[in-house]
């Protein structure tokens, strides 16, 4: 009786997998340096013919770097069904943000808005976040971005307010297809600025 060596099978699979990959034309990095890449080939279904997966111009889907925060703490704001505007200082150099909606019964709509008169605020009780009491643009249920339950990471849009202060307008909306009375609900929406995502 012959002995079976599982490591030999694993080594054979790794070696065989390399036969389906090849070095592709180099890509250009941020400093115009050549960056080598590997292309995975997919079977065509005709004999033993293969082609690069995804086509010649984009052989693999580009994966982004993981989200890394710029500051230690996030900004939290109490969101209700009535549109409210909040202001906070966006960290310098942040290109993305991760929003977190902890409410199971509602979605959050959020949008950066402009001040329409000199900015007046009042404290919210949440560190780094004030409620805007002066006139601004206002979100409605058709504008902004819908953030569903859980975390979502998005690129940060240009700030229409000069400087580092960002004014956002928020409101709770019902989850599509699920009628709900949200009138007494407050959701502590959380936003963290950083890079990647």
Instruction: Say how many CA atoms lie within 13 Å of 145 toward its Cβ.
Output: 18
Q: Is the pLDDT of residue 56 over 50?
A: no
Could you give the CA distance from residue 134 to residue 189 in angstroms, rounded to a whole number? 22
Give the pLDDT of residue 59.
42
Mean pLDDT of all residues in the chain?
Answer: 79
Percent helix / strand / coil, the chain, rounded to 5? 5, 40, 55
Residues of the chain with CATH 2.60.120: 68-195
Q: Are 189 and 86 in contact (CB under 8 A)?
A: no
Give the pLDDT of residue 151.
87
Q: Is the pLDDT of residue 28 over 80?
A: no
Q: Is the pLDDT of residue 5 over 70?
A: no
Q: List the strands of the sheet with 130-132, edge to edge.
A: 121-123, 130-132, 84-89, 165-173, 107-112, 145-147
68-195: in CATH 1.10.10? no
Q: What pTM does this model have?
A: 0.66
Give the pLDDT of residue 16.
47
Q: Which is higher by pLDDT, 130 or 48?
A: 130
DSSP per-residue letters across 115-157: BSSS--EEE-SSTT-EEE-S-B----TTSSEEE-SEEEEEEPP
Give the pLDDT of residue 101.
94
Q: Which is higher by pLDDT, 66 or 73?
A: 73
pLDDT band at 2 (very low <50, low <70, confident <90, very high): low
Q: Is the pLDDT of residue 37 over 70?
A: no
H helical segments located in the chain: 6-18
Q: Are 97 and 71 in contact (CB under 8 A)?
A: no
- Token reading at 177: 């297809």
Instruction: Say how many CA atoms lie within 13 Å of 43 toward its Cβ.
Output: 5
Please tell me the least confidently modeled range out of 38-42, 85-89, 193-197: 38-42
Which residues on adjacent β-strands are paired with residue 194?
69, 96
Give the pLDDT of residue 164.
87
- Token reading at 4: 């079976």
Give the pLDDT of residue 130.
96
Give the pLDDT of residue 35.
62
Could you give the CA distance from residue 113 to residue 116 in angstroms, rounded to a whole number? 9
Q: Which is higher by pLDDT, 148 or 27?
A: 148
pLDDT band at 20 (very low <50, low <70, confident <90, very high): very low
Q: Is the pLDDT of residue 58 over 60?
A: no
Give the pLDDT of residue 41.
63
DSSP assignment, residue 182? -
Q: Is the pLDDT of residue 138 over 80?
A: yes
Q: Is the pLDDT of residue 135 over 50?
A: yes
């Amino acid at each position: 009786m012959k002995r079976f060596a599982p490591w030999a099978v694993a080594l054979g699979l790794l070696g065989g997998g390399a036969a389906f990959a090849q070095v592709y034309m180099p890509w250009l990095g941020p400093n115009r340096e050549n960056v080598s890449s590997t292309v995975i080939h997919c079977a065509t279904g005709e004999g033993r013919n293969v082609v690069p997966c995804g086509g010649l111009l984009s052989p693999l889907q580009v994966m982004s770097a993981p989200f890394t925060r710029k500051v230690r703490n996030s900004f939290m704001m109490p969101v209700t069904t009535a549109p409210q505007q909040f202001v906070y200082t966006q960290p310098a150099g942040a290109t993305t943000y991760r929003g977190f909606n902890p409410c199971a019964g509602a979605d959050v709509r959020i949008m950066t808005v402009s001040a329409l008169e000199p900015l007046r605020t009042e404290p919210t009780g949440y560190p780094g976040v004030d409620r805007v009491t002066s006139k601004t643009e206002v979100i409605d249920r058709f504008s902004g971005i819908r953030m569903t339950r859980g975390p979502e990471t998005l690129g940060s849009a240009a700030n229409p307010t000069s400087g580092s202060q960002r004014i956002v307008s928020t409101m709770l909306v019902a989850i599509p297809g699920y009628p709900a009375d949200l009138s007494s609900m407050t959701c502590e929406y959380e936003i963290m600025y950083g890079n990647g995502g």
